[in-house]
Structure 1
Amino acid sequence: MDKLTARATVVDQFAHGKPFPVTEPRLQLSELPLHGIIRVQGDAKDPAFQAALRTALCMELPASERVSAMREARLAWAGPNEWLYFCSLSTEKETLVTLKQTLADQFATVTHISDSRVSFIVTGPDAPNFLSKGCGIDLYSTSFEPGKVVTTRFAGLPAMLMRRSGDVYVIYFDVASAGYVLDWMLDAVDEFRA
């Protein structure tokens, strides 16, 4: 019987000899290793739903285009009545069970989606300029401050873009797009190389 090994990253096979991760003085780009992602859908205006999530996750529902964070976990607004909960792989299964039990009597849906996403972290002073090549979002501090998240199109594909802090951005795509996204990013990064 074959021994299956869970993936930690997916894009190594798509670099095709180009240097990746990118480690330039003003721009760094790498893939985030696999981590837990749980989609939660429910009525944001329902006090019982809010209380159930508060109990299960120990954090408040974030406002539109915002992220609530506690330690390494984040709850990000993904659209009206939809949020994505990001956590470590070590706590993912327990959190999934807790959410399903806590929301069992609610009009809500909890879905495990970790394996369906690929994520890239983009850091450094040139991160906003690099990311602006792929989307029309104003990424500078006054418009896109830390703790903000948007769903948008990036390089023509649906994506979720989150600003964690300072010059630290994370962008999520459907895992099926990993090869295309990496090719696009490695072409776009050329003008930022020292």
Structure 2
Amino acid sequence: MHDLPDTEEADAAAERYWPDHFKGVLRTALQERVEGPFLRERAFEELYRRLYAASFSDYASFCRRLAEGVVIGAENGVDETLEAIRRTLSRKKALPEKRPLAVYFWPDPFDADLTRILQREVFEEWGTHPVFRHLYEDHYTGPLSFDDFVAALAETAVSGARNGADGMLGEIYRAFLFERPLPSFRRRPRLVR
């Protein structure tokens, strides 16, 4: 057998990921905005007792897990949006449209404050990252200035987060409706650029 050095760890350390530090803000702010109404309204207490009490120690931990699932859905929504942005810009096409849904499930945590906070966080992070400068200079063919380009990307990313969170709420509510186990909450792997 050939004596080859194992470079797996070095290769993994050298991978360059899409910037996603704003997800920390998304995690904390969205978690609170989903978990709070679930606990205050006690809307799912009967379902919890009947179907999920064996899996969770109390109603609060059940609500915490539901909120974590919604956050994971939002993060996955941002990742899907980033992929759409990358695909369209690599083909030198227009920016993907933000696609808000007609109706959002309760508690629709993306109020104006959260939307503004997230858009600002995304704008500040992406506006200073060289990969987005590269996308703008080498792949974007539209009329926007760089700041307007990043602002449009931020709006699209937050729209993706909102749609992802709502999609996960829909899966949770379907599990409630059909008295099934909760859906699995899995984050997508970090996106390599």
Band the TM-score falls in, shorter-chain normalisation: under 0.3
- TM-score normalised to structure 2 length: 0.27
TM-score (normalised: structure 1) = 0.27
Quick one: higher RCO (CA 8 Å, sep 6+), 1 or 2? 2
* Higher helix fraction (1 or 2): 2
Whichever of the two has the greater Rg, that structure is 2
